[in-house]
Each structure stands twice: as structure tokens, then as C-alpha cells.
A and B are shown apart, each in its own frame.
Chain A
Amino acid sequence: MKRAFAILRHNAPAIIVLVGGIALWEAVIRGLAIRAFILPAPSSIARALGENWTTGYQILPAAQATLQEAGGGLIAGALLGLAVAFAVARYPSARDIVLPVGIAVNAIPIVAFAPLANQWFGSQSVYSKMAISAALVFFPIMINVLRGLTSVNASSLELMRSYAGSEMAVLTKVRIPNALPFFLTGLKIGTTLSLIGAVVGEYFGGLNVALGRVVVESASTLSFEVTWAAIAVVSAVGIVMYLAVLAAERVLIPWHPSVRGERVA
């Protein structure tokens, strides 16, 4: 109870800004009589959300499908990023090839490949969306983990050498723990990117019940309240994924400045 109160107090400014912002939004829409196709009022977005939750546009199942695609893409991209980072860290000669190529590939707007991915994996398939997500997620994870594996204190390495630690011991006891906060940072960036990949993939066709489809179809029938409702749900899914990584950080790296700093009330 005391703890819940502390959390509430800690987050009070953010909550006030959020609630106040929504109230202001509602007031402005009503006061200036702005029409729905420009910007609907929060109240009508909420109503649209309720009406289309499981019927109509079926936002709940749509969100589940999108979450599945984004989650799958995130996991696949993270695994790929980890694998490449470990390989490059292990064989430094590979760095001169992998990094320039990786940076060049990262400069390509990967979402532009969404229609092609639908072509390759089948537009109805969840895998085409996962592929785009994974491609977006891969780079920040790879770069972050690689930095974590290689930016180890020289003195830590010297300490391990003084104990005649094997290369394997250096990897498991120094490099991997050092890389963990970097990986989690990559993962936080990855949550947002994985959702972008999934939703944009859905714009170009896919499962009928998916948030990207809801956005496209509701907009084409001028049901903008539903469009906004879908966008709100995408944001909520993104926030939940982000919070999940934050929670993982608290458990996995309680010693890290970013985590222990948060406890200062």
C-alpha cells in the first residue's frame, strides 16, 4: 500500500500532464467545433474503441495479432542481432566487413521493403510482418551488444589474466555481463521499431484482423474515430512492451546506474 502510494507520487507529474492534456484536447475540440476528420475528440475515440472492441473492426483481436507479429519480429531480430554481435566480437577480423555492411544496410529504409516482404512471405502471412520487424530490430541490438561485448575495462581483462582465466571465462564472466545493459537498451529501442515494422507491413495487406488493417480500412471509410482508436491501441501495446523491458532491467541489472538511479524518490 505504502509502496503503491510511493509509485503513484513518483509518477504524479506524468499522470497530471496526461490527464490534463486529454482534457484540454476535449475542450478545444468542443469549444472550436473542430470536425472529426481533422481531429476527433477523446470521448468519441473512446466510444469508437468500445463499439469496435470485439465486434465491428475487432480491435482487441487485431491488437493480439499485431502484438504477435511485433513480438515475433522482436525476438527474431534480437536473436539475429545477438548472433552477429557475438560472432563479430569473437572474430575481430569480421568487424571490418560486417560493420560497414551493417551500417549501409541500416541506412536503407527497411519499411520500404514491406510490399516486397508481403510478396516473399505471402501477404496473408504473419511472417512477412515479422520479417520487417526483425530487420528493423536487428541493427540497434547488434550494434549495442557488440559495443557491450567489446567495451570491457582493460583492467578487468588484466584481472582475469592474473587469475589465468580462459577466454571462455572472460566471455561469460566479463563480456556478457558487461553487454547485458547494452542489450536491454537495444531491446528498448527494438520494441518501438518492431511495432512500426508490424503495422507498416499490415498497411500493405495481410491478416484482415490486425491494427494496421484497422487503420487503413477505417481511414478509407472516413471512420476517423476508429483510426485514432487503433492508433491509441498501437501506442498502448508499445508502452506495455517498453515497460516489460524496464521491468526486466530491474530484475536483471539492479546494479546498473540507470536502474539504481530510478529508486531515488
Chain B
Amino acid sequence: MTGERVTDVPVVSLAGVDKDFALPGGATMTALTGIDLDLRRGEFVSLIGPSGCGKSTLLRLIGDLTQPSAGVVTVNGKPAPQARLDRDYGMVFQAPVLFDWRTVEENVRLPLELTGQERTARDARVAEMLELVELPDFARHYPYQLSGGMQQRVAIARALTFSPAILLMDEPFGALDEMTRERMNSEVLRIWEQTGITVVFVTHSIPEAVFLSSRVVVMSARPGRITRIVEVDLPRPRGVETRESRRYFEMVTQVREALRSGEGSGTSDDSLASIERAEAEGLTG
């Protein structure tokens, strides 16, 4: 709808998805309920919401790292487990999850080893990816020799090496300082623009979500659900001027208000969300 390079075929689709966790003692905990979400190809979508509202769980459902209790998850036109086996997505976890015993280039190479790529093509690809995240000089370093932000960039390079159609990122820059974070944001946008990949991006930062996204999915907790989806119509390419534009601040405010109303403290202008909330409270309370 925002007119960015998107098609109408959803690349990720969640329909009526619930996720319950069994708790010790026989009780169950509803992490997500009634999730309906369609992502268009080439979109950059952020998930934002209070801690514990199920953002990571939602990402893990898309990645088939956990299975829904109800509903259907479709990725790249197939059931999520099949998409995982076809390696349709790359995941960047909140922690970098690098293997200590592998150098930077060996870590980036890991997915290519698993897909059984031929060696010379593989090495060229790894070099290209390290170029992309601006770490070519650190190819032979071990993870312990890198800063946290550099490690995270290695993790991003690794997720991108085998050119997945979808990139799932779980608070990748949560631990970075503001300046590094802004630089990383620009890098991720550049990669997104260069590769035409679909990105699902979990964050706690409203400015980050607005700056990066085509759409911001606002969630609320207990039980986790989607309360609002904010279309971000800021022009692209986005840069320093974007962060200083009026429209940007308006969007930030809009997302902040959506978040606050989702908390249930203020009056909600989203009647659907409050109805859902009332229903959910009736069910669990």
C-alpha cells in the first residue's frame, strides 16, 4: 500500500495463530493469541511491544523454531517447517550466537557449508558478505577479538550469506550505543535496499522501528496480541534528514501512542483492540 517494491502475494502469513506454553504444574501460559499478519514481499516490518508480549515467540513461529498451538503459519507459500528445511529465511538472534572456535569468515561460511556449496564460490560469497558489513579486515579474527557490535554484524553477514528470501532479526542492536545503533540501522537499510529481501525486525526502540520500517506492528502483552499496525510513509532512501523531519517525529508519536493505548492505561482509540483485550481478560481471568 505504501507503494514500495512490494507485491500482493504474502511472503509470510500467520492466520489465527495462538501459542500456549505448558507450565510446570499443568497450567498453560498464553504467549500469543489471535495473530493474523500478512507480510508482503520486500517489506520491512518491525515488531514492537512491551517485554514478554511474544515478539521473539512470533519470530520463532515464523522460523519453525517453535510450533503454533492453533492456526497456520505460511512462509514463502509453504508451511513454515518446509520453508525452514528449504532454508528460506535467515535468523539473527538477539545474542550473536557465533561459534567461538570459528574465525569470522568461518562463522559467515557456516550456512554455505550446510548447503554444500562449492568451495571457490563459497569463499567469494563470504568475502562479499564481509565487505557488506564492513569487516573484511577481521576475516581471520576469532569472535572474542571483536566488539559486541562487530559480532552482531558478523551474525548479520552469516544470515545473509545464502541469500535467504526472508531475514528475521530479534533485537539485533539491543546492546549497542545510540551512535553505533544508528550506523547499524543505516547498514541494514542499505542491505535491504541492495538485496530486496523481506525483513521482520524485533525492537524495543520506537525511533528505530519508525526509521527502518514500511510497517510497524504494535503488540501488547498478557496475552500477546497485535493491537495496531502503523504504516510508515516516510520517503526512501532514508538518512540523517529523515531522523530530523517532522513527519518522522509524528510517526514516532503515533507509534508511541499506539503502544500506550495497547497497555490499557490510557483511553484506547482502537476499539477493536479494546474489545479483544476485554475478551482475552475474560478468558484468562
Q: Given A173-B110, A255-B142, does the pair A162, B91 have CB atoms closer than 8 Å?
A: yes
B100 A256 Cβ-Cβ under 8 A:
yes
Please measure, in the bound complex, the distance between the C-alpha atom of A163 and the C-alpha atom of B144, giving whole angstroms. 23
The 10 closest A-B pairs by CB, nearest first: A177-B101, A255-B142, A162-B91, A155-B97, A164-B85, A163-B114, A159-B97, A163-B111, A165-B114, A255-B100
**A180 CB contacts on chain B under 8 angstroms:** 101
B113 A173 Cβ-Cβ under 8 A:
yes
B249 contacts chain A at the CB level, 8 A cutoff: no
A162 B110 Cβ-Cβ under 8 A:
no
Q: Given A158-B65, A169-B114, does the pair A164, B84 have CB atoms closer than 8 Å?
A: yes
17 more A-B residue pairs beyond the given contacts A153-B97, A173-B113, with a C-beta to C-beta distance below 8 A: A158-B93, A159-B93, A159-B97, A162-B89, A162-B91, A163-B87, A163-B111, A164-B84, A165-B114, A169-B114, A174-B99, A255-B100, A255-B101, A255-B142, A255-B143, A256-B101, A257-B144
**A223 CB contacts on chain B under 8 angstroms:** none
**B42 CB contacts on chain A under 8 angstroms:** none
Please measure, in the bound complex, the distance between the C-alpha atom of A158 and the C-alpha atom of B155, giving whole angstroms. 14
A159 B91 Cβ-Cβ under 8 A:
yes
B148 to chain A, nearest CB (A): 15
- Bin chain A's interface residue count: 20 to 34
What does the 1/0 interface line of A149-173 toward B look like (CB < 8 Å)?
Answer: 0000101101111111100010001
What does the 1/0 interface line of B63-77 toward A look like (CB < 8 Å)?
Answer: 101000000000000
A162 B101 Cβ-Cβ under 8 A:
no
B127 contacts chain A at the CB level, 8 A cutoff: no
B63 A177 Cβ-Cβ under 8 A:
no
Please provide the chain A residues from 153 to 206 with a CB less than 8 Å away from any CB of chain B in the complex.
Answer: 153, 155-156, 158-165, 169, 173-174, 177-178, 180
B273 contacts chain A at the CB level, 8 A cutoff: no
**B99 CB contacts on chain A under 8 angstroms:** 156, 173-174, 177
- Bin chain B's interface residue count: 20 to 34
A253 B101 Cβ-Cβ under 8 A:
yes
* Chain A residue, CB-CB nearest to B168: A162
13 A–B pairs (Cβ distance < 8 Å), ordered by A: A153-B97, A155-B97, A158-B97, A159-B93, A159-B97, A162-B63, A162-B89, A162-B91, A169-B113, A173-B113, A255-B142, A255-B144, A256-B100
B272 to chain A, nearest CB (A): 33
Q: In the complex, which of the residues B87, B90, B93, B97 has the most CB atoms of chain A within 10 Å of its own CB atom?
A: B97
* Chain A residue, CB-CB nearest to B96: A155
**A173 CB contacts on chain B under 8 angstroms:** 99, 110, 113-114
A172 to chain B, nearest CB (A): 10
A260 contacts chain B at the CB level, 8 A cutoff: yes
Please measure, in the bound complex, the distance between the C-alpha atom of A163 and the C-alpha atom of B99, giving whole angstroms. 14
B230 contacts chain A at the CB level, 8 A cutoff: no
B residues lining the A interface (CB < 8 Å): 63, 65, 84-87, 89-91, 93, 95, 97, 99-102, 110-111, 113-114, 142-144
**B65 CB contacts on chain A under 8 angstroms:** 158, 161-162
**B85 CB contacts on chain A under 8 angstroms:** 164
A89 to chain B, nearest CB (A): 18
B102 to chain A, nearest CB (A): 8
B83 to chain A, nearest CB (A): 10
B267 to chain A, nearest CB (A): 41
B146 to chain A, nearest CB (A): 12
Please provide the chain A residues from 19 to 69 with a CB less than 8 Å away from any CB of chain B in the complex.
Answer: none
Please measure, in the bound complex, the distance between the C-alpha atom of A180 and the C-alpha atom of B97, giving whole angstroms. 19
B2 to chain A, nearest CB (A): 29
B254 to chain A, nearest CB (A): 33
A102 contacts chain B at the CB level, 8 A cutoff: no
Please measure, in the bound complex, the distance between the C-alpha atom of A165 and the C-alpha atom of B110, giving whole angstroms. 10
Please measure, in the bound complex, the distance between the C-alpha atom of A259 and the C-alpha atom of B99, giving whole angstroms. 16
B110 A163 Cβ-Cβ under 8 A:
yes
**A164 CB contacts on chain B under 8 angstroms:** 84-87, 114
A92 contacts chain B at the CB level, 8 A cutoff: no
**B97 CB contacts on chain A under 8 angstroms:** 153, 155-156, 158-159
**B102 CB contacts on chain A under 8 angstroms:** 177
Please provide the chain A residues from 211 to 265 with a CB less than 8 Å away from any CB of chain B in the complex.
Answer: 253-257, 260
**A256 CB contacts on chain B under 8 angstroms:** 100-101
**B100 CB contacts on chain A under 8 angstroms:** 255-256
B143 to chain A, nearest CB (A): 8
B144 A162 Cβ-Cβ under 8 A:
no
Please measure, in the bound complex, the distance between the C-alpha atom of A164 and the C-alpha atom of B81, giving whole angstroms. 10
**B142 CB contacts on chain A under 8 angstroms:** 254-255
A108 to chain B, nearest CB (A): 36
* Chain B residue, CB-CB nearest to A253: B101
